[in-house]
Amino acid sequence: MKIYTHTGDHLTTSIQKKRVFKDDDAIEVVGSIDELQSILMVAHSFTDFEKIRTVLQSVCQDLFEYSQDLIAEGSDFPTSKIKNIEKTIDDFSSKLPKLTEFILPGKTRSSSLIHYARTVARRCERVIVRYAKNKKINDTLLQYINRVSDLLFVLARSVEEKTSL
């Protein structure tokens, strides 16, 4: 099977069984999520800590379902995924020293890449919020993407502190 179809050669692409312009808000959302998944897997590749790698890959896999539910405007995205992220944040956070000042994002290659993924997640969230202003979006989806950046912040700190690993 060839990867190219020629169907996108004239400003449009297919999403949810319809043709839209390639700059459609839905395409921007899907592209932002794709970018987030890519940087999550880059961070995964450069992280030596298996617990962190497992969490990064899990979030990346969740984002496939997340993306589909977001565009379909009929979300079945489980609230349990939010609870799982919150539990993971709490587990890692409980072993970290208390923050008393702003931190430089990334003292190691691994933590730098996780912090970079965090900033991509924040940008992705902004794109999703813009999209949600004109579409009916389940609150679960908005909560999940908000927790992802919190999770990445804690994971990056954990790598730097070598705690919980």
Indicate the pLDDT class of residue 6, thresholds 50, 70 and 90.
Answer: confident
Please give the residue range of the domain that contains residue 49.
23-161
| Average confidence score pLDDT of the chain | 91
Task: Please state, for a pLDDT cut of 90, what percent of the chain lies above it.
Answer: 64
How many domains in the chain? Answer: 1
The reported pLDDT for the residue numbered 23 is 83
Residue 11 counted as domain residue = no
H/E stretch holding 131 reads: helix 109-132
Residue 4 counted as domain residue = no
**Cβ atoms within 10 Å of 94's Cβ, excluding its own:** 10
pLDDT at 160 over 60: yes
**In whole angstroms, what separates CA 141 from the centre of its chain?**
11
Residue 54 counted as domain residue = yes
**In whole angstroms, what separates CA 163 from the centre of its chain?**
23
Q: How far apart are the C-alpha atoms of 132 and 6, rounded to whole Å?
A: 31
Residue 111 counted as domain residue = yes
Q: How far apart are the C-alpha atoms of 57 and 78, rounded to whole Å?
A: 18
The reported pLDDT for the residue numbered 8 is 77
Q: How far apart are the C-alpha atoms of 157 and 120, rounded to whole Å?
A: 17
Indicate the pLDDT class of residue 165, thresholds 50, 70 and 90.
Answer: low
Residues 130-140 pLDDT 10s: 999 998 888 99
Which CATH number do you get for residue 116? 1.20.1200.10
Residue 9 counted as domain residue = no
Residues 12-39 pLDDT 10s: 777 777 888 788 888 899 999 999 999 9
Q: What are phi and psi of 91, to 5 degrees?
A: -60, -50
Residues 47-90 pLDDT 10s: 999 999 999 999 999 999 999 888 887 778 999 999 999 999 99
CB burial readout 122-158, b (16+ within 10 A) else e: bebbebbeebbeeeebbebbeebbbbbbbbbbbbbbb
Residue 98 counted as domain residue = yes
Residue 3 counted as domain residue = no
Residue 75 counted as domain residue = yes
